[in-house]
């Protein structure tokens, strides 16, 4: 939810530097992973369960000239294809929402070197909310579960802290943030894409593609309608949006 602004802050909380060997779990098409490699000079390995995402991520790294800094491979969060004590940092963004955190975090810690850090960037909802607000947020959770066909919930910041500590991590810190759009975020995205010109072309292409698919497919129109409703509940509804945001949490092995 926090875009590259939150990725940058999470990397700083994890104390990533040029000597760090970083694992990004659920890397998708590699956008955040390449951003971290490019801006912090570290070595990044990204894993994702989707073959098409890994192919695009490796293409992205090559196009950005990051082949020596970023590599991507197919991997399962519950069974990471690495030896124990391999990485200095393990990061995941908007992935834990869909995972069995007990199993996943135990695996994150296994591949982490002693003294290394786990960092997560995930959505949250406050623990104490009025009943009517809780019910609206539960409705949004049901919508996103239906769209993704995956279990989806918004744990509290206290839950995220408890799960990281339960995996054996110490010095766990949780930082709550609200979603906001600012000029800094646009600057980071434009730079990551290779400049404002490429950013504008990609945005126009994306809008054209979304419009074409929306017009041609009733199923996609229905998905966009549900997505808009879910996002409206979480981010545009005055009574619920103040209880929802993203949490950056870190802990040390």
What is the C-alpha to C-alpha distance for residues 163 and 71, in angstroms, rounded to an integer? Answer: 29
Q: Best-predicted range by mean pLDDT among 113-117, 133-137, 235-239? A: 113-117
pLDDT of residue 235: 79
pLDDT digits (tens, 9 = 90+) for 18-56: 999 999 999 999 999 999 999 999 999 999 999 999 999
What is the rounded (10 degree) CA torsion for 173, 47, 182, 129?
-50
pLDDT-based confidence at residue 117 (cuts at 50, 70, 90)? very high
What is the rounded (10 degree) CA torsion for 46, 51, 52, 56?
30
What is the rounded (10 degree) CA torsion for 14, 158, 109, 47?
-70
pLDDT-based confidence at residue 195 (cuts at 50, 70, 90)? low
What is the C-alpha to C-alpha distance for residues 140 and 154, in angstroms, rounded to an integer? Answer: 10
- Per-residue pLDDT at 186 exceeds 60: no
**Comparison of pLDDT for 131 and 182, the residue scoring more:** 131
pLDDT of residue 214: 61
Domains for the chain: give ranges and CATH numbers: 3-131+150-181+242-252 (3.40.50.150)
SS3 for the chain, per residue? CCHHHHHHHHHHHCCCCCCCEEEEECCCCCHHHHHHHHHHCCEEEEEECCHHHHHHHHHHHHHCCCCCCEEEEECECCECCCCCCCEEEEEEECCHHHCCHHHHHHHHHHCEEEEEEEEEEEEEECCCCCHHHHHHHHHHHHHHHHHHCCCCCCCCHHHHHHHHHHCCCEEEEEEEECCCCCHHHHHHHHHHHCCHHHHHHHHHHHHHHHHHHHHHCHHHHHHHHHHHHHHHHHHHCHHHHCCEEEEEEEEEC
pLDDT digits (tens, 9 = 90+) for 79-92: 999 999 999 999 99
Separation in Å, CA 209 to CA 31, 63, 121, 201: 20, 22, 29, 12
**Tokens 């959505």 found at:** 123
pLDDT of residue 181: 61
HSE-up of residue 122 (Cα within 13 Å, Cβ side): 30
**Comparison of pLDDT for 189 and 79, the residue scoring more:** 79
pLDDT of residue 238: 84
pLDDT-based confidence at residue 202 (cuts at 50, 70, 90)? low
Q: What is the pTM of this model?
A: 0.85
| CA-wise closest residue to 42 among 34, 30, 31 | 34
């Amino acid at each position: 939810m926090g875009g590259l602004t939150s990725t940058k802050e999470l990397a700083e909380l994890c104390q990533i530097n040029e000597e760090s060997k970083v694992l990004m779990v659920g890397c998708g098409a590699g956008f955040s992973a390449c951003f971290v490699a490019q801006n912090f000079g570290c070595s990044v390995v990204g894993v994702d369960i989707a073959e098409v995402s890994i192919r695009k991520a490796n293409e992205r790294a090559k196009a950005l000239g990051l082949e020596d800094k970023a590599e991507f491979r197919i991997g399962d969060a519950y069974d990471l294809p690495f030896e124990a004590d391999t990485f200095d940092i393990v990061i995941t963004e908007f992935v834990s929402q869909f995972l069995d955190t007990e199993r996943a975090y135990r695996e994150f810690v296994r591949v982490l070197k002693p003294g290394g850090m786990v960092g997560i960037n995930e959505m949250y909802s406050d623990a104490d909310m009025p009943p009517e607000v809780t019910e609206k947020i539960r409705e949004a959770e049901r919508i996103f579960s239906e769209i993704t066909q995956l279990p989806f919930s918004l744990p509290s910041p206290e839950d995220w802290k408890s799960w990281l500590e339960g995996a054996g991590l110490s010095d766990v810190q949780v930082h709550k943030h609200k979603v906001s759009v600012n000029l800094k975020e646009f600057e980071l995205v434009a730079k990551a894409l290779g400049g404002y010109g490429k950013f504008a072309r990609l945005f126009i292409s994306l809008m054209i593609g979304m419009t074409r698919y929306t017009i041609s497919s009733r199923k996609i129109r229905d998905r966009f309608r549900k997505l808009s409703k879910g996002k409206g509940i979480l981010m545009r509804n005055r009574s619920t949006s103040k209880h929802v945001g993203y949490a950056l949490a870190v802990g040390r092995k």
